[in-house]
Amino acid sequence: MTVHSDRSQRRRVVIVGAGFGGLWAVKRLKGAAVDIVLIDQRNHHLFQPLLYQVATASLAPSEVAWPIRSMLHDRKDVTTILGTVVGVDAAGRTVRLADGSAVAYDTLILATGARHGYFGHDEWEAVAPGLKTIEDTTAIRSRILLAFEEAEREADPARLKALLTFVIVGGGPTGVELAGTIADLARDTLPRDFRAIDTRETRVLLVEAGPKVLNGYPDSLSAYAKRALEKLGVEVRLNAPVTQIERRAVTLGGQRVAAHTVIWAAGVRASPAAEWLGAPADRNGRIVVEPDLSVPGHPDIFAVGDTIAVARPNGAPVPGIAPAAKQEGAFVAETIRRRLAGDPERRAFRYRHEGSLAQIGKGKAVIDFGWLKLRGAVAWWLWGLAHIYFLVGVRSRLSVALNWLWIYTRNQRGARLITQADDKPPVD
């Protein structure tokens, strides 16, 4: 079954993906002479910058995810479809869904995001999950908490050491934030709750293949982040590419480290959108788009966010972060508005970098605004305010702010729920 577009009236814009890029396109098309169909394989929008806080029991899933229909209930021009897109028929101007149906479009925006990238070792995903979905975060949270629970009953010293070893692969913002928060959890939150083990003996190992953590940040902030992590007890291994990940062990630089919990924060791979269209793509599968963010050869198909590779005027790539996706979604919406007004000019997207922020455990962060670089407690407060500001809804902002204040003052995390028993490692 195909849902057709009535081209004699309003134009139909189909948006695939309700992430930051897709939702900002919806937002900026409000009032335009278009009908919007928003398709996503999940029923919620996810604030991905705080996923690691769910994985480390600082926040609940409901505090970083919101139902799409609820967010758009007052937008009568928007129809929401829960479905998985499996292809695009550019000649027939339709999007194909997994259930066999199709949705027709006049203009298509692909905001399909990215998934974990394991550099050709997809078999590692089963033992080293990453953070992209709510399911990912609750599974990782269960693995982390189960490691402490099993350690409480473990008598063998070698197995105990492995249970209390956590390896994070990748020294970017997600890896740094995960390592610091797990160290805080083990050092400040859990010691009073266990009897047979001292959780302060937990080993957190952050592994980075490159020469520094937070690559892309100024050297001074990167060096500060490394020192701050080490003060928390995190072991930072630089120039240490991982060569093997197996159940309960990681090999790096020829050294095998026994660890029951391994978390992947080293790379991503774009959705198969480029394959759907036979479009040019970079090595990570991102569509190499035209300057106006359209897909080469398809002026009525745009792509935004982690789906694409686009360069700034100086040749540097636009980063795959939420502010960039928002700007791209808004830009495409304005392009569609201009076309509806009879302006066919193809203008180039210009990215405005608004700054880079990363938390390093409780009370410490680094911020790079370009003209201003901050670190330490002041940066942490600004980091918190910025993230609270961009959350959806007053209730979420208040809830997250209160949770962070409670953690900061009481060292307690209320979201320590083991919700997926099937993540429990099998008994040897």
| Euclidean distance between the first and the last CA atom of the chain, given in angstroms as a whole number | 50
Q: How do strand 356-359 and strand 308-309 relate by DSSP bridges?
A: unpaired
**What are the CA-CA distances from residue 254 to residues 175, 213, 242, 257, 304 (Å)?**
22, 21, 9, 10, 40
Q: Which residues contact 177 (CB under 8 A, 6 or more apart)?
A: 52, 358, 359, 360
Helix, strand counts (H, E) of the chain: 11, 26
Sign of CA dihedral 52, 391, 68, 421: positive
Q: What share of the chain is helix, strand, coil (3-state, %, to 5)?
A: 35, 25, 40
The catalytic position among 63, 177, 290, 328 is 177
Are the C-beta atoms of residues 79 and 35 closer than 8 Å to each other? yes
Q: How do strand 242-246 and strand 249-252 relate by DSSP bridges?
A: antiparallel
User: DSSP secondary structure string, 215-275?
Assistant: BTB-HHHHHHHHHHHHHTTEEEE-S--EEEEETTEEEETTEEEE-SEEEE-S-EEE-THHH
Are the C-beta atoms of residues 349 and 331 closer than 8 Å to each other? yes
Q: Which residues contact 280 (CB under 8 A, 6 or more apart)?
A: 274, 287, 288, 296
Alpha carbon of residue 188 to chain centroid:
26
d(CA 207, CA 55): 19
Helix orientation angle between 20-28 and 322-340, rounded to the nearest 10 degrees = 30
Query: Quick count: other Cβ atoms within 10 Å of Cβ 22?
Result: 28
d(CA 357, CA 328): 20
Query: Quick count: other Cβ atoms within 10 Å of Cβ 402?
Result: 10
Residue with tokens 């942490």: 380
Calculated CA dihedral for residues 363, 369, 371, 376, nearest 10 degrees:
10
Are the C-beta atoms of residues 25 and 304 closer than 8 Å to each other? yes
Q: Is 177 a catalytic residue?
A: yes
Active-site residue set: 177
